[in-house]
Amino acid sequence: MSFQEYLRFMVKRFLEYLETPGEERRRLKAAREAWSARWFGVIPMSIKMLWRK
């Protein structure tokens, strides 16, 4: 991927972000899964459940 293609991709992503209404951005951010679940799967969730018992 050339620098121009990468720059075009980043500008496109940035403009999509700016065009998205603030309410929708907040809703999407709240619906996102936790970083621990994304990186390590269900192991952190199971440890958390055991810890709370």
36-49 pLDDT, tens digit per residue, is: 777 788 888 788 88
Those residues whose C-beta lies under 8 Å from the C-beta of residue 36, and which sit 6 or more positions away, are: 44, 45
pLDDT at 31 over 80: no
Domain map (residue ranges) of the chain: 3-52
Q: Which residue has the higher pLDDT, 26 or 35?
A: 26
* 2 backbone dihedrals φ, ψ, rounded to 5°: -80, 165
